[in-house]
Amino acid sequence: MQAAPADVVAFSCYTWNWQYSLQLAAAVRAQKPGCLIVFGGPHVPAGPQQAEAFLRQHPAVNLAVHGEGEQTFLELLEQWQSGQPDWQTVAGISYLDTAGDYQRTAPRPRQIDLSQVPSPYLTGVFEPLLRRDPTARWLALWETNRGCPFSCSFCDWGSATASKVSRFDEDRLLAEIEWFARHRMHTVYCCDANYGMLKRDLDLTDAMVRARQQSGFPKVFYIQNTKNVTERAYAIQTRIAHAGLNQAVTLSLQSVNPRVLKHIQRDNISLDSYRELQQRFRRDSVQTYTDMLVGLPGDTPADFLAGIDQVINEGQHHLIRFYNVYLLPNAPMNQPDYRARHQIQSVITPYAEPMAPTRQAITEFQELVIASESFSTADWQQMRGLAWWAELLYFNRKLLQLPWVLLKVLAGLGYGQLLQHYLQGDWPRTAVMGELREFLRHKARQISEGQPELCPIQLPGKGEVWMGVEDYLFHGLSQTGSWSLFFADQQLILLDLLHKNLPAERLQPLLAELQQALQLSQALLGVQLQDQSFEMPVHSNFWSIYQAELHGEAPPPLQSVSGVLYRDWRGLPFDQLKYRSAGATASAQIGYSGRQSL
């Protein structure tokens, strides 16, 4: 690093840049001892004891800013420019004085009047950057309001903003939307905690949609839904989806367990609202995905499994995204009293991003929850395993979604029952599945001991990069040509489960349906991997039963048919098929967006 000409260097600190910021600050201090170095952002410790420890541990940092930083930073610059700064006049900071004593000024009141905060877009701050790289695909962070009325224990958003919501002027926001379109922002990421909470958010959404229609930009508008205003959230997300501004709607449940929701202070967020949104979006063919957290206080493996089963049964067949619980420095969950009350145990793990090189000059870290009063570390490993099995088999490329749905409808097996069998069932001898299960168990143990959450993999042209566990397994099965063995194993595993749960007279009619479903699942995987056409004779209406379940409709009775399911095109859509009756030339396209009974 060359010596910077700046007299003041300020850092906005998050999980993903904390170590980088600390090391850069130390390097700046070494090369320019008189530089003023300021740390702010949500990762700066807020508590007095923690803030003092941070400043003593990192002497390169002069000042720590707590809370909103715009006015604080302005006052810091004014004091610095005076030549004789009096930091006691600046609210909301901590520092060590010339005698080495810890000083903390009065808390800064919330910035209620956000019109005093200038727009970095409209004031031209980014114009030189855009001119330097006009072909880049840009992402713009956009704030329409500030604050959160909720106080989820794992999050520092509500606690950091005192639960009050302030708003930016609507004319400014409309002008910023025009700026995004004019400067061809590919993605606008809305930083609001609850977009859709305010009535005007509908008008802002319409303005964003018009900008896309008139200019082609932005391509993506990403929001985080308001929690309880169901009707407005539905209207906003539907407009975003129909405008092509987002691929799927986020439904951030985190958990459906009432005890867990109480522990994490989300029991004031209506689960009925989520259920209604899920059903309405499914009816309108708007894809959604659900967020669930692995390792929340109050959870158990049995309850976590029941939660997955419930979410799927209530209509989430597109995607559940499972995230581990990490402790943020200023979140309520990380405070000493909360940790003691819920017996939180944690490990420090390296922070890694999918497809990022494994070799980094600086490694970031996270603090992962691996046990609490309700679950042991071994329990956490089981919950992590359940999440991986759900992602790999039911959601990721829908490898076994079709046979699982049929077994649920025709045999009465629950999704949780199926997942439990894959996690801990006593299987027959298998070709590849036993190795997959042992790998997942080993990986969960490694993570709980502080190893990376992701897997290192060598890719042509990219070197060694990080990859998510379920994608790593999928890639391995593809590279080794093991898919035929994989699906042969499923026949053994699922037949074993049926034999253990059904009498012989009920079992026999299901065998042919299971074989058909696995055969078609393997063919559909080939469509995704090789974009190939295919046709497959069918002897029942099992595909119509599957489609009805996906769409929340009453499945038709199982009936015999004589026909062919086939695909005679290349490219999208991958989730539709055509059906032709035996001897017929006409066909009907059937799938997620256009179904017809066989």
User: Helix crossing, 415-424 with 483-501: angle to 10°?
Assistant: 110
Closest CA to 68 of 167, 146, 165, 177: 146
pLDDT reported for residue 273: 83
CA distances from 143 to 22, 107, 162, 166 (A): 27, 23, 17, 11
Q: Which two three-digit tokens encode residue 34?
A: 């008189």
Percent of the chain whose pLDDT exceeds 90: 82
Closest CA to 92 of 38, 54, 158: 38
Question: Using CA atoms, how far apart are residues 392 and 27, in angstroms rounded to an integer?
Answer: 44
pLDDT reported for residue 285: 83
Taking the CB of residue 30, how many other CB atoms lie within 10 A of it?
A: 11
Q: Is the pLDDT of residue 521 over 60?
A: yes
pLDDT reported for residue 160: 53
Q: Is the pLDDT of residue 528 over 90?
A: no
Q: Which two three-digit tokens encode residue 168?
A: 């930016």
Mean pLDDT of the chain: 93
pLDDT reported for residue 585: 57
Mean pLDDT of 569-586: 79
Peptide bond into 357 cis (omega under 30): no
pLDDT reported for residue 596: 38
**Is residue 536 classed exposed, middle or buried when 0-12, 13-18 and 19+ CB atoms within 10 A define those classes?**
middle
Closest CA to 144 of 52, 51, 226, 27: 226
DSSP letters spanning 468-527: -HHHHHHHHHHHTT-HHHHHHHHHHHHHHHHHHHS-HHHHHHHHHHHHHHHHHHHHHHHH
Name the region of 162 (left: φ>0; alpha: ψ -120 to 50; beta: rest). left
pLDDT tens readout for residues 427-471: 999 999 999 999 999 999 999 999 999 999 999 999 999 999 999
For the chain, list the domains and their CATH numbers. 8-104 (3.40.50), 114-341+385-393 (3.20.20.70), 531-598 (no CATH)
Closest CA to 68 of 125, 30, 108: 108
User: Helix crossing, 200-215 with 230-242: angle to 10°?
Assistant: 0
Q: Is the pLDDT of residue 592 over 80?
A: no
Confidence of residue 60 (pLDDT cuts 50, 70, 90): very high
Backbone angles phi, psi at 167, to 5 degrees: -130, 150
Question: Using CA atoms, how far apart are residues 532 and 523, in angstroms rounded to an integer?
Answer: 9
The four Cα atoms 534, 537, 542, 544 give a dihedral, to 10 degrees, of: 60
Confidence of residue 597 (pLDDT cuts 50, 70, 90): very low
Mean pLDDT of 337-341: 98
Among 212-226, 327-341, 385-399, 529-543, the range scoring the smallest mean pLDDT is 529-543
Q: Is the pLDDT of residue 121 over 50?
A: yes
Q: Residue 589: beta bridge partners?
A: 578
Among 13-17, 19-23, 221-225, 271-275, the range scoring the smallest mean pLDDT is 271-275
Q: Find tokens 């009293």 and name the residue.
A: 337
